[in-house]
Structures are given as C-alpha cells and as structure tokens.
Amino acid sequence: MCIDSPLCKEYIVYMNAEKVEKLFWLLVVAWCVLRIVLMGSQYIGNGDTAFRTAVLRHFSEGDIAVGREYALYGFWFRAVYGFLLVGALIAMLRLGFFETLWQKMGAYAGPGLLRQDLLFILASMLVMQLMSLPSSIYLGYWREAESGFSNIGFVGWLFRYFKSLLLGLGLQTLAILILLAVMRWFPQKWPLLVPLVMGLFALSVTLLAPIVITPLFYNQTPLEDGKFKADILGMADKAGMEVEEVYVIDESRYSKHTNAYFTGVGSHRRIVLYDNLIKSHTPEEAALIFAHEAGHWKYNHVAWGLSLGALGMLVIAFVYRTFFPIMAQVSWFGLKDIAGASGLPFLMVLVMILQLFTAPVESQISQLMERQADRVALELTGLRDVFISAQVRLSRDNRSDLLPSPLRVFWLYSHPPAIERIRMAEEFKPL
C-alpha cells in the first residue's frame, strides 16, 4: 500500500490531521458556493433574447410559464434542505453519532463482515434515507400531486416509496458487502479487482431489472399486434436490432408522465414504452420516440455506461488506497480500516460533495449519447417534422423548463434542452 512507501510516509507526516481537516472544510465551503451558483442559475433561467425567440417559434408563453413553475416548485425548500442534510450528516459525524452506532453494532453482534459491518451498513443507510424522507414526500409526492401528474393518493405513494426503499437498501448493502469482501480477501490487488467485480454486479442488476425488479412495480406486457407494432419492428430491423418484443408498462397507474427507455446488453436488450406515451402521442410520434431508443441500442450505450462506470471505479479505488492513510488521521471521519464499514457515513458524505464537482463529466457523456440517439431516430424514419412535434408534445406533457440556464444544462442535464433537439432536427439533412 501507499503507506509503506517512503514518499507517502513523508507526505503523511506533512499532511497531519489538522491540515486534512482544514482541507475537508475547504471542500465543504467550495461545495456550498458551487451549489449556490447552480441553484441561482436555475432560479434566473436563460435570459438570452435570441434563445427565447427560438423557443417561442414552437412554444407559447404559457408553455414557458408552466415549465418554469414546475421547475421552480419548492425551490427554496430544495435549496435549504440540501444544505441542512449535508450539514446534519457532518454534525452527526463530528459529534460521534455514527461512532456510537458502530460500537453498539459491534457490542450487539460481534466483529465480522456479516455481523458488525452488515448491521452498521444497514443502520447507517436507513438513517440517511429517513433523513431524506421529508424531501421525498414534498418533491416526490406533493409536487407531482399539485402539478396534476400523480394518479395515486398519499398512502399508495408511501407504499411504493418504502418498497423502493427496501429494494434499494438491499441492493446497495449487497454491493457494499461484496466490495468489502474483495478488499479483505485481496489486500494487495483489490484496486484492480473491485472495478471488475462491481462491474459484473452492475451488469447482473441491469440484466435482472426487467425480469425481476420492473414486475415489482409495473405490469409489463408485450405491445399489442397491429400496424404500430409492425412499424416499430420494421424500424428495429432497419437499425440492426435483434428484438422479438417491445414492452409496455402501466405508468398510468402512478402518474401522467410520458417516456420510453432502453435497458439491457447483448442479446438481452429491450425497449420499454410507457402506456401514457402511446395514449397521448400519435402513432408516428410514438414510433419516432421508439426510434430514439433504437439509437441507444445501435450505439450500445448501456454497455458503454457500464464500461465507463468500471473505469471510474478503477480510478476511485487507486485514489482511495493512496489517500486513505492520510484521511484516516482525522478520528471523526471513522476510517478505522480501509476494508471496514466504519467509514461508510463519511465516505457517503464525501461522495455527495464530490459528485457535484464531477457532474459535468457524466452530464456531457449522457448528452452526447442522447444526441447520437436523436440522430439515429431521424435517420431511421426521416420524419423531421414529426420529431419536432414529438419533442414539443413531450416537453408540454412533462412540463419541461424551456428556458434553462446554460450553466445548469452543461453541469447537470442528462439530455439536451428541448429547443436544442428541435434545432438539430431542423438542420438535419437525410443521407
């Protein structure tokens, strides 16, 4: 490990606990400033007159107002709650809450990966999830209900939320246990093995999700036979897609949102349409949205996402191994053992903070993939005008922010804004 090298030992002596703690607080301050800037940019939106004029060629002032209202719903709650959540977690670390929890789990179950570590992981993550519950209720239920999107009552939403919570808690706990096991079994080689093992875990979840996870929340049925299905399968064949079925899920039981998505890798890839999409769009528009998902299929974006995730895990593993002995000098971080769960709360806070700084990398990769899929949709169908009308309808159905801040789009958006996608279609020239 790094701690055994003379250079690392010299650096550890230089970077004592006081300096490491100061660097952490500096990182927290930088995160606060960046978050204020990004929240402020959302509040201001895009004031460019030319951009607004372009939007008004396809949308009305009413569409803009509705989108802005939905985007800014609970703005001050979100702004304040985000700071309070991170601040509360840091305070709990600093005051020894998680250290006490760690000791209690050890006293109750004894040391061991499937004893103290397992109980501590479950307890810590449950605490964090419960701390996020008010935000989930306000933004996940009340905003959707007041905006007219929700088709279920609060009790139904709560049942679905806790079902998702238990599922997520189980998968995340399993992933952490696997990671810690690899680190313990292979103390020298784990930085190389962790990306491989966790990549296989992510692949397994991706393959099992449509078969095991989706049915827990939706009725998933093959698309009915007819001209629409025939057109879609013909389009899939043109894209070189090996697909026997297109699936429909009953999103209408929960909300009025419209969407479609692509999942799976290799021969297990599938495209899923929301039933709301079929109900609210013309067959041509729905087929074109399918063609967009065919673009993801053509470029194998899920496999690329898994591969890039594994690469990111490799970098993180080597960085963590290098800097662990330096960070471990601060006792309240809880980093007792590089392959132990005691430092999980601190690491999760650190990830929450660092994710905001690295968000543009993921954002720009995602936007690139979406642009590629959009272009494939146009190449497959040639329906430029229909593509534009579909984008307009999707934006209206989902109350998209039509005047988003350019900074926020660059930093956080997974998809290009609606007007950019429309502009691309207007400039598209068939081969």
> In this predicted structure, what is the pLDDT of residue 190?
97
Q: 301-327 vs 283-298: helix axis angle to the nearest 10?
A: 60
- The Cα 64–Cα 66 span in angstroms is 6
**In this structure, what token pair is assigned to residue 31?**
């995160």
- The Cα 389–Cα 422 span in angstroms is 9
**In this structure, what token pair is assigned to residue 264?**
């799976």
3-state secondary structure of 222: strand
- The Cα 293–Cα 390 span in angstroms is 14
Q: Is 127 exposed, middle or buried (0-12, 13-18, 19+ CB in 10 A)?
A: middle
> In this predicted structure, what is the pLDDT of residue 418?
95
> In this predicted structure, what is the pLDDT of residue 200?
93
- The Cα 4–Cα 304 span in angstroms is 36
Q: Which residue has the tokens 């673009």?
A: 295
Q: Is 201 exposed, middle or buried (0-12, 13-18, 19+ CB in 10 A)?
A: middle
Dihedrals φ, ψ of 58, to 5°? Answer: -125, -20
> In this predicted structure, what is the pLDDT of residue 211?
86
| C-alpha 351: how far from chain center | 13
Nearest CA to 45 among 335, 403, 365? 403
> In this predicted structure, what is the pLDDT of residue 1?
45
> In this predicted structure, what is the pLDDT of residue 333?
97
**In this structure, what token pair is assigned to residue 176?**
């952490």
DSSP codes of every residue in 227-296 = HHHHHHHHHHHHTT---S--EEE-GGGTB----EEEE--GGG-EEEEEHHHHHHS-HHHHHHHHHHHHHH
- The Cα 347–Cα 118 span in angstroms is 16
- The residue type at 36: I
> In this predicted structure, what is the pLDDT of residue 244?
60
pLDDT in single tens digits along all 431 residues of the chain: 455 555 555 555 668 899 999 999 999 999 999 999 999 999 999 999 999 999 999 999 999 999 999 999 999 999 999 999 999 999 999 999 999 999 999 999 999 999 999 999 999 999 999 999 999 999 999 999 999 999 999 999 999 999 999 999 999 999 999 999 999 999 999 999 999 999 999 889 988 888 889 999 999 999 888 887 887 777 777 767 666 678 899 999 999 988 888 776 666 667 788 998 888 878 788 778 878 888 888 888 888 998 999 999 999 999 999 999 999 999 999 999 999 999 999 999 999 999 999 999 999 999 999 999 999 999 888 889 989 998 998 899 899 999 999 999 999 999 999 999 999 999 998 76
- The Cα 270–Cα 10 span in angstroms is 53
